[in-house]
Structure 1
Amino acid sequence: MIIVTGGAGFIGSNIVKELNRRGRTDILVIDDLKDGQNYRNLRGLQFIDYQHKDDFLQSIENDDFDGTDIDAVFHEGACSDTMEYDVNFMMRTNYEYSKLLLHFCLQHRIPFLYASSASTYGAGKNGFREGDECEDALNPYAFSKLVFDRYVRQVVPEAHSQIVGLRYFNVYGPQEHHKGKMASIFYQLVDQIQETGKARLFKGTDGYADGEQRRDFVYVKDVVRVNLWFWENGGPSGIYNCGTGHAHSYNEAAKAVIKALGKGEIAYREFPAILRGKYQNFTEADPTHLLNAGYDGGFTEMEAAVREYVGFLNRGGYYSYGE
């Protein structure tokens, strides 16, 4: 059996879908469906069972999984709202929960692959290499991820099973509808152009021209490929960047969407005051550590990925069961 937490979420549901494509359906999906939207991501997936995240934790504490053959845990579940400022909530949800699950995996020697975040680099003023000298946190979400990464670093040297943290950069692709304001710029731009004909980007800030803030955009299918590569190849434990290593401007992103849709134009709006000092104007993964681990699966070129994604959205935007 394989366990995927956040299995009804964006990246988690894509991991389940790829596992299905590879012939695995003995999957336990863990999530919380209370928002009434993310259940739609499960309709096109094959899995053996579903469990609410709190019930799952109780099952672990009750030793309900003793004797169960678990091949891997992909821990994608978290509160990913960067505008959530309740630090205690973030720490309970993203840190304490992750610690309990990590120690369950260590006890039973189960490979544990989890979602970290490029937000752990803060403004990125010291670069984007996996190390203390580059790390910072501009909001509670980033702090919860960073503190868990630092906890993992203490545990890895004594671990007897695989522990891999992947610092996702700006992920986009199928099954992100439910994320709302946290959905990728690509999803938002498609929605904006379909409704108004305009792709609305931020005006310049902090020395960047209009729409020239730059991010390392990574296609969700590539994120899944990295996860499964580590698991299937027994990749070395550690914390790794999961990004393309090449930043694109928001103007480039908008032009790719406009080209894929065959319509639309760019318009600029004022930079929100609430984001000043809390916004990453530039991200670009340093892929050295990932490549040194042996990963050779590459990353999809942005324009090709956007074209595929826009086509997927135009067909309804969800996976089909048995597809």
Structure 2
Amino acid sequence: MTRIVVTGAAGFIGSNIIKGLNARGIDDIIAVDDLTQGDKFLNLADLRISDYVDASVFYEHFAQGCYGQIEAVFHEGACSDTMESNGKYMMDNNYTLSCSLFQSCQKRGARLLYASSAATYGGSETFKEDPLFERPLNVYGYSKLLFDQRMRRECGANFQRAHSGKLGQVVGFRYFNVYGPREQHKGRMASVAFHQFNQFVKDGKVKLFGSYGGYAPGAQMRDFVFIDDVVAVNLWFFDNPAQSGIFNLGTGRAQPFNDVASSVVNAMRELKGEAALPLESIVGAGLIDYIDFPEALRGKYQCYTQADISALRSVGCDHVFSDVKTGVGKYIAEMAGAV
């Protein structure tokens, strides 16, 4: 029977990966997390796992072989707060721990599929998996980049299994702006769509940053990727163990924050039987409240991201990604059903 480990299991992406594995009938899953924030248990409550292990003991026990033969580790555990300024804490969690996990996976014959981040590109205008374009703007982005660099060194310049000899599969996913169910515990780091849904329920309108970085209000652009698509790509690589490397995981299509806001508003209107409105009418009706750009984010904010997914396509992953209207529509319908 296939035994899987998911770190960060009670988190946003980790819990959705378990959901995806469960849908395939895989439930011999060791869930690893830190439930100090107790309400994260909700992300695991409806899932099937074989064991839960606290993150404080798992890594050492795994290195010692305490859990038997593990097929693969989906490593989603990390400090993902891009505004965290404690660099030692960030590096311990996101770099040092990941390095020890990599060594343990190689020793134990387990495949490693891990979370990197589009934050590795930072101030770049090109989002291609190449050191030329990697310019992190914060210590979070740097912690993720350093581990990617370590994997390149360990696995060989071409970072493909064919070139890495004795090494098993290692895949890093540079997640772009992921949104979807099971992110409610993330507080300020939850997606724009999540916050705007709650704003609309409370105030009947949504908030967006005003003009910044040469962009008009709400016109800053990101590559927004729906969580179901993230899970599908993770599982594609799980199904294709001969493929290793660092890959962008985004749609390949930048869309303005205004698209998210209008999708949220129109999804809420549809649930009430009201007709969809174009952006101009939504703004004119005061359903979007543009707020001043926060001082704390100046110089540390990506105004534009768009994943270059040519590397993903080159290895045969042809998954079709949802656009913002489709993904946000599904997400809002699910959240509204839970209210």
Both proteins in one fold, TM over 0.5:
yes
Aligned positions of 1:222-233 closer than 5 A: 222-233=229-240
- For residues 83 and 161 of structure 1, the distance between their equivalents in structure 2, rounded to whole angstroms, comes to 34
Look up the match of 2:160.
none
Show the counterpart of 2:95: 95
**Which structure would you say has the larger RCO, counting Cα contacts within 8 Å and 6 or more residues apart?**
1
2:250 & 2:133 partners in 1: Cα distance?
Answer: 16
Instruction: Give 1:132 deviation, angstroms.
Output: 0.6
CA contact 1:242–1:285 (8 Å) conserved in 2: yes
Q: CA–CA distance in 2 between the matches of 1:229 and 1:188?
A: 30
1:146 and 1:227 map into 2 onto residues whose CA distance is: 19
Aligned to 1:189: 196
Q: Answer yes or no: is 1:131 the counterpart of 2:130.
A: yes
Structure 2 residue aligned with 1:107:
107
Aligned match for 2:27, one of 25, 28, 31: 25
SS at match of 1:209: coil
Question: Residue type of the partner of 1:298?
Answer: V
Q: Choose which of 202, 205, 220 in structure 2 pairs with 1:198.
A: 205
Residue 226 of structure 2 aligns with an amino acid whose one-letter code is Y
Q: TM-score w.r.t. structure 1 length?
A: 0.95
Moved runs in structure 1, 4+ residues, more than 3 A? none
Structure 2 residue aligned with 1:62, among 38, 60, 64? 64
Task: Show CA shifts across 1:131-171 (max 9, x none).
Answer: 11000111111110000000000111345200000000000
Task: Establish whether residue 149 from structure 1 lines up as the match of residue 148 from structure 2.
Answer: yes
1:248 matches 2:250: no
- Aligned partner of 1:34 in structure 2 is 36
| 2:10 matched residue in structure 1 | 8
Equivalent AA in structure 2 for residue 2 of structure 1: I
| 1:118 aligns to 2:118 (yes or no) | yes
Residues in 2 aligned to 1:3 and 1:60: alpha-carbon distance in whole angstroms: 10
Q: Equivalent residue for 1:178?
A: 185
Partner Cα distance (1:302, 1:272) in 2: 25
> Structure 2 CA distance, aligned partners of 1:276 and 1:228?
37
Counterpart among 267, 271, 287 of residue 293 in structure 2: 271
Q: Is the 8 A contact 2:259 2:325 kept in 1?
A: no
Alignment match, 1:321 = none
Q: Secondary structure at the match of 1:315?
A: helix
Return the offset for 1:69. Answer: 2.1
Q: Contact 2:70/2:109 (CA < 8 Å) preserved in 1? A: no
Task: Decide whether the 8 Å contact of 1:245 with 1:286 is kept in 2.
Answer: yes
Cα drift, residue 114 of structure 1? 0.2
| Displacement after TM superposition at 1:235 (Å) | 4.7
Change (3 A) 1:188 1:156: same
Question: What SS class does the counterpart of residue 38 from structure 2 fall into?
Answer: coil
RMSD, matched Cα: 1.2
- 1-structure distance, mates of 2:80, 2:26: 27
Alignment of 1:210-225 (within 5 A): 210-225=217-232
1:162 — aligned with what? 169
Find 1:294's aligned residue among 316, 319, 330: 316
CA distance in 1, matches of 2:194, 2:57: 32
**Aligned to 2:225, what secondary structure does the other structure show?**
strand
Amino acid at match of 2:203: T
User: Is residue 137–residue 300 contact of structure 2 (8 Å, CA) maintained in 1?
Assistant: yes
User: 1:20·1:45 contact (CA, 8 Å) conserved in 2?
Assistant: yes
Deviation of 1:71 after TM superposition, in Å, equals 1.2
Are the equivalent residues in 2 in contact too, given 1:171–1:219 (CA < 8 A)?
yes
Q: Is the 8 A contact 1:124 1:282 kept in 2?
A: no
Identity of counterpart residues, as a percentage?
46
Residue of structure 2 in register with 1:46 after alignment: 48
Provide closer, same or farther for how the CA distance between residues 235 and 207 of structure 1 changes in structure 2, counting only shifts above 3 A. farther
- The one-letter code sitting in structure 1 at the alignment partner of 2:176 is F
Deviation at 1:111, TM superposition (A): 1.1
2:56 partner letter: D
**1:235–1:310 Cα change, 3 Å:** farther
The answer for unaligned runs of 5 or more in structure 1 is 318-323
8 Å CA contact 2:259–2:324 kept in 1: the answer is no
Q: How many Å separate the matches in 2 of 1:242 and 1:62?
A: 32
Residue type at the aligned position of 2:199: Q
* CA contact 1:235–1:293 (8 Å) conserved in 2: no
SS of the aligned residue for 2:266 comes to helix
In 2, the alpha carbon distance for the partners of 1:123 and 1:150 equals 18
Match of 1:260? 267
Taking a change above 3 Å as real, the CA distance of residues 63 and 234 of structure 1, as seen in their structure-2 partners, is closer
TM-score of the aligned structures, taking structure 2 as reference length: 0.90
Whether the 8 Å contact between 2:211 and 2:293 is mirrored in structure 1 is yes
